[in-house]
């Protein structure tokens, strides 16, 4: 049997994987191949993978325990797979640079996104490498950030005025808010496997740098948000039906371009829980 192949898409991150059918159980060799490719390329793309929710959840579970999102609807018979459907849910929070669920004590290790229904044009997704962003910082700025922590807040991307508009939604939002109070993570994160350092603040959930004054925090975060998403640190994926993306959420952030309304876009996501972020 021929080995799967990797086609890199940019220097910073991104690669297309061919030769693996993720609708079937993975062999140990294929699982290891994907895991190593993810460490190296940070986001992987698979074309023409018409997977159903149970297959998506099974694939994601090879890499860790799965998360059930507190706000987004899910597939009823497969609650680990959430549904991003523009006809049902306000998904504007995805049209901002963000790292998934950094409001958790153990943010996602990664996520598996499957394209179910796409607009005729538009709806691309971009990913940015936190490793490339960190490595491009000046030595003095690295030194400053290495001792700092940042607050991540669930309500920054899920505000009450957008996600509490019915009695049922309000109950769900209040429960999610209670279970996910603001918490802190290091501003620079060390990857638990590769040991590489990554910028770990994102516009979707990071509200302030704790050790700085409010005005200093605002200025530094504005600089870092702009720096982290410079074009040379990114890759852009033009979706086709049944495409699947798998990204390392520990060292990336992403942006779903909202340029296709009023057309509908439906994606399924399985989120793999990670570990407590640390810096060393």
Q: Provide the annotated active-site residues.
A: 98, 100, 254, 269
Return d(Cα 192, Cα 67) in angstroms, integer. 19
- Least Cα distance to 203 among 226, 186, 219 occurs for 226
Place of tokens 């876009």: 265
Strands 234-237 and 125-129: antiparallel
Return d(Cα 156, Cα 24) in angstroms, integer. 38
Return d(Cα 161, Cα 159) in angstroms, integer. 6
Return d(Cα 11, Cα 232) in angstroms, integer. 8
Phi, psi dihedral angles at 92 (to 5 degrees): -60, -25
Contact 12/129 with Cβ under 8 angstroms? yes
Strands 78-85 and 266-273: antiparallel
Q: Which residues contact 4 (CB under 8 A, 6 or more apart)?
A: 17, 18, 19, 20, 30, 33
The two structure tokens encoding residue 135 = 């490595």
């Amino acid at each position: 049997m021929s080995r799967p192949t990797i086609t890199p898409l940019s220097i910073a991150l991104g690669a297309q994987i061919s030769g693996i059918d993720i609708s079937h159980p993975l062999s140990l060799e294929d699982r290891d191949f994907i895991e190593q490719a993810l460490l190296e390329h940070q986001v992987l793309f698979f074309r023409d993978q018409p997977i159903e929710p149970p297959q998506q959840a099974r694939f994601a579970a090879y890499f860790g325990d799965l998360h059930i999102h507190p706000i987004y609807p899910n597939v009823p018979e497969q609650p680990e797979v959430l549904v991003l459907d523009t006809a049902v849910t306000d998904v504007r929070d995805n049209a901002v640079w963000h790292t998934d669920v950094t409001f958790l004590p153990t943010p996602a290790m990664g996520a598996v996104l499957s394209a179910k229904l796409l607009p005729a044009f538009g709806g691309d997704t971009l990913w940015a490498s936190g490793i490339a962003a960190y490595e491009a910082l000046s030595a003095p700025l690295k030194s400053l950030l290495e001792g700092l922590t940042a607050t991540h807040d669930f309500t920054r991307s899920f505000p009450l005025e957008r996600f509490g508009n019915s009695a049922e939604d309000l109950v769900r939002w209040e429960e999610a808010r209670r279970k996910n109070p603001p918490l802190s993570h290091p501003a620079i994160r060390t990857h638990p496997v590769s040991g590489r350092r990554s910028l770990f603040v994102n516009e979707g959930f990071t509200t302030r740098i704790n050790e700085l004054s409010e005005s200093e925090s605002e200025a530094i975060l504005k600089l870092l948000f702009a720096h982290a998403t410079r074009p040379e640190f990114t890759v852009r994926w033009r979706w086709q039906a049944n495409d699947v993306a798998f990204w390392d959420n520990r060292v990336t952030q992403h942006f779903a371009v909202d340029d296709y309304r009023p057309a509908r876009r439906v994606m399924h996501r399985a989120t793999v829980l990670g570990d407590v972020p640390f810096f060393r």
